[in-house]
Amino acid sequence: MPGKKSPPGNLPTARIVNIASAVFKGSHPDLASCPKSSLPEFALIGRSNVGKSSLINMLARSEGLAKVSQIPGKTQLINFFAINNAWNLVDLPGYGFAKVGKKERGNFSEFVADYLRHRPNLLGTFVLIDSRLSPQRLDLEFLLWMVGCGLAFIIVFTKTDTLSKKAAQANIDAFLTRMREITEETPPYVMSSSKDGQGRSEMLDLIDSALLEGRGVPEDPETFA
Ligand SMILES: Nc1nc2c(ncn2[C@@H]2O[C@H](COP(=O)(O)OP(=O)(O)O)[C@@H](O)[C@H]2O)c(=O)[nH]1
Ligand SMILES: [Mg+2]
């Protein structure tokens, strides 16, 4: 076709999930009350105010789908969003403001731990980290818990529009250095901004890859990759 460029060289053509519909399905206080679903699920977690709800809206290109709050610690429910009636995005309560649980679990709710460890259709978790901050103990504690449980995750460094590339990269490098004390491999990560859409195609591509791997609902929720 005239004017249509083919992808250069040997670069793979990105597969982008097309989000045709995004529908809020409900909020639930614990795993037991979450609706059983055979749809693959992807969760977002991070400190209160890190930008979880904004990221869901950015991914879905739907302002107001998830409630964005100026007040930290408001959402203490597991919020479900059905995407294309084919997979779920799950907005988990932020840690850091929940009641203190067992020490080794860090400062996040037991029902969140329960969801992450025992939700059978959970394919992956995005752990959001504020790119404006130097490494925070709460985040590292949470990731230590994830690693200890054998739960796979992708780190999303949020709010990159608020600082220079150099400053964000310095914080990210410092965080990854601390991560290497927890786990030998450098975890996969994405840089994101809900304001300018950075990271959207990368995250959707990661979701697409997980969906395409065709594992459907894993038998053991702790073995997804
Ligand atoms: N500049 C900027 N602000 C953001 C971004 N993401 C979230 N925010 C702001 O950060 C605050 C908390 O966002 P929210 O999505 O409610 O965080 P949550 O508590 O993790 O769900 C709100 O005032 C958002 O407008 C971002 O990518 N860039
Ligand atoms: Mg929120």
Which residue among 45, 67, 68 is best mutated to probe the pocket of ligand 1, counting the most ligand atoms within 8 A of its Cβ?
68
Write the pLDDT tens digit of every residue in 196-218: 999 999 999 999 999 988 554 44
**CB of 131 shorter than 6 A to ligand 1:** no
**CB of 119 shorter than 6 A to ligand 1:** no
State how far the Cα of 172 lies from the Cα of 132, in Å rounded to an integer. Answer: 9
Write the pLDDT tens digit of every residue in 44-59: 999 988 999 999 999 9
Write the pLDDT tens digit of every residue in 3-32: 444 445 554 455 557 888 999 999 998 999
Which ligand 1 atom is nearest residue 50's CA?
20
Residue found by looking up tokens 């988990």 in the block: 92
Residue nearest to atom 28 of ligand 1 (CA): 159
pTM of the model: 0.86
How crowded is the C-beta side of 214, counted as CA atoms within 13 Å? 0
**Phi/psi zone of residue 179: left (φ > 0), alpha (ψ -120 to 50 degrees), beta?**
alpha
Which ligand 1 atom is nearest residue 47's CA?
20
How far does the centroid of ligand 2 lie from the alpha carbon of residue 2, in Å? 46
**CB of 200 shorter than 6 A to ligand 1:** no
Higher pLDDT, 43 or 212: 43
Angstrom distances, CA of residue 58 to CA of 40, 63, 104, 204: 20, 7, 33, 11
User: Whose atoms come closest to the Cα of 49: which ligand?
Assistant: 1
Average pLDDT over residues 76-86: 91
Q: Is 8 exposed, middle or buried (0-12, 13-18, 19+ CB in 10 A)?
A: exposed
